[in-house]
Structure 1
Amino acid sequence: MTSVAPKNDLNQMDDKKPVIDFAIIPGYENVRLHESLLPPPPVDYIPPKNQEQQDFMSASVISEDTARQALLEHVGQQCCWGKGAAQKMTIKELKRSPSYHYILETFTEERSTKWHFEPFKGQPVDGPHNGPAPGPWDIPITYREVFKNETLFHEVPHTAYVKDCHGCDAKGYLRCAACHKRSKIRCPACQGSVQEREYQNIKHEITKCPQCSETGEEMCATCGGDGRIQCHYCEGHRQLRWFIRLSIFWANNVSDHFIEKTGLPHELVKAAESIEFQDTQFRVTPVTKFPEEEINEASQRLLSRHQFPQRVIHMQRHMIRMVPVTRCLYEYKEKYLFYYVYGLESKVYSPDYPEQCCWGCSIM
């Protein structure tokens, strides 16, 4: 039986409950109510000797016409910006300064076990009489999508058995904590005094309490006057079906390194269209031939951190995003200013554009 992670877990045990004697399942003798991580079996992996790396291309500097047209389109999308500066400026220098974003992903699997229970309602009980329980890493369960976080719960075959409920001593009910089995509680309106105090026309008057019919008590709403509530462990069925639950956690572990040498905000670079170099392998090797040496160093450093000895590594992927950035130096009214054209879509970042006020609007 396999299930996704539930919102509520019946195994939230009361610390005051007695210690439970669990069935002895060969291979699972140390399993308790708390998750216990299981180191994965060894994997024989021999790294390739000559894993080829792709050639990396660079983005060229844009032309002066492209830089000016990009700024004109950007100005036209802004409210109250004037086009005069973009039309009359003199471009002095176009300097290529690309941004880089290295991303490493390692897709891992982690398994743990714990004793779990559910109310016994007559459902099948797959116990040790059906054979030995398989090892936690011998149960064939696979992920649905690589590089996606996912959690599944699976009952370990041949570990189930039925036992009287420890929460209610197999009675099916518990004493109501609100009324202490008295069926009634003190009236919340008069606090049991059978009287109410009222102020009418600045006079202090004492009247009989209408809510409790002058008894000082009312029926307990928690138990409906029965004095008992249904056991929340067995839900009134008096018995529990115990089994060892296997928890499988697939995780996409992500690390990255960002290189930005201009005044362009990182969030703009991350959202821009880029030239991407990507490699997906069972194990990727560090990037060594990228023109920007800092990327090679970051790849080596991050890969050394993605070892995960307590998990199985299923797949790795790394990517280099190169965002073309051109820094444009221009002169307007004897002032030197900068703006940036970035991304494959030639977006513009120009926080110091000189005509951002309403006087830049054309008055019809």
Structure 2
Amino acid sequence: MDYQLETFTETRKTEQAEKPYEGEEADFNTQPAPQPWDIPAKTPSFFTKHKEKIRVPFTSSIKVIGKQKLCIKCNARGNMDCETCEGKRQMLSSIKLKVKWSNHEEYHVVPQNSGLKIELDSVSGKELFQNSQSLLYLLLGFPNPAISEASQRMIKDHQTKYGQTSRILQQRQTVELIPITKVNYKWKGEAHLYYVYGNEHKVSADNYPATCCCVIQ
């Protein structure tokens, strides 16, 4: 059995940016520039990672190459395409807003007594419970106390950790039962075993005999 917590966040940062001028409006100081969180940005589907760059309104100004900065390749004559102004001889300077949507995932696998000695967070199982909210409540009273304990610890940790630097838009918690089948067999009079686990039917077979001519799938 495992418990999965996902916390979907939005982070915003601003930085100075320049690009070759292509006729954009120079609106610097015509109005007060909006604060980063006041700028509209379309949120992707929840739990989907995405990045976006937005030019902040009322921060754009035009710089003429040669007065603030000299283009070495063509001496600011504009007769060569260069990496700086691409032959335009003018640069648009503005503040750029970088918006990042992230999905922070964490798993807790309840120790099992089957003898399987591998991590089970790479496989899926049968979904027993799932819910999502903008901010989750602790999962209390679950039949397995270890799941309730993991929920309490991880939800508090995520809300504290990611709420300080980002906006938490949505959280989702899922409880899965991971199937594990233990197979005992004999080979040339000796006892052996292997495991089949997860919905993906992965196999773990330590000390499997005759590996040169037989493969378990």
Tell me the TM-score normalized by structure 1.
0.48
Alpha-carbon offset, residue 161 of structure 1: 1.4
- Give the aligned CA root-mean-square deviation in angstroms: 3.4
Indicate the residue corresponding to 2:4 in structure 1. Answer: 103
Alpha-carbon offset, residue 293 of structure 1: 2.2
Indicate the residue corresponding to 1:210 in structure 2. Answer: none
Counterpart contact for 1:102–1:321, Cα < 8 Å: yes
1:240 maps to 2:91 = yes
Indicate the residue corresponding to 1:281 in structure 2. Answer: 133
Q: Compare the two structures and name the one with the higher strand fraction.
A: 2
Paired with 1:155 and 1:277, the residues of 2 have a C-alpha distance of 42
Paired with 1:149 and 1:340, the residues of 2 have a C-alpha distance of 35
1:173 partner SS: coil
Alpha-carbon offset, residue 105 of structure 1: 0.6
Counterpart contact for 1:260–1:266, Cα < 8 Å: no
Counterpart contact for 1:279–1:317, Cα < 8 Å: yes
How is 1:304-319 mapped onto 2 (pairs within 5 angstroms)?
A: 304-307=156-159, 308=162, 309-319=164-174
Indicate the residue corresponding to 2:61 in structure 1. Answer: 161
Structure 2 residue identity aligned to 1:135? Q
Which of 171, 175, 178 aligns to 1:323? It is: 178
Indicate the residue corresponding to 2:72 in structure 1. Answer: 174
Structure 1 residue identity aligned to 2:173? H
Paired with 1:345 and 1:247, the residues of 2 have a C-alpha distance of 38
Alpha-carbon offset, residue 235 of structure 1: 2.3
Percent identical pairs in the alignment equals 36
1:286 partner SS: coil
Indicate the residue corresponding to 1:93 in structure 2. Answer: none
1:116 maps to 2:17 = yes
Aligned length: 207
Structure 1, unaligned stretches of length 5 or more?
Answer: 1-99, 182-227, 360-364
Which of 144, 150, 154 aligns to 1:298? It is: 150
Counterpart contact for 1:174–1:229, Cα < 8 Å: no
Paired with 2:202 and 2:91, the residues of 1 have a C-alpha distance of 63
Paired with 1:128 and 1:114, the residues of 2 have a C-alpha distance of 17
Structure 2, unaligned stretches of length 5 or more?
Answer: none
Structure whose CA Rg is larger: 1
Paired with 1:280 and 1:253, the residues of 2 have a C-alpha distance of 14
1:271 partner SS: coil
Paired with 1:348 and 1:175, the residues of 2 have a C-alpha distance of 62
Alpha-carbon offset, residue 229 of structure 1: 6.5
Distance 1:170 1:238, change over 3 A: farther
Structure 2 residue identity aligned to 1:173? C
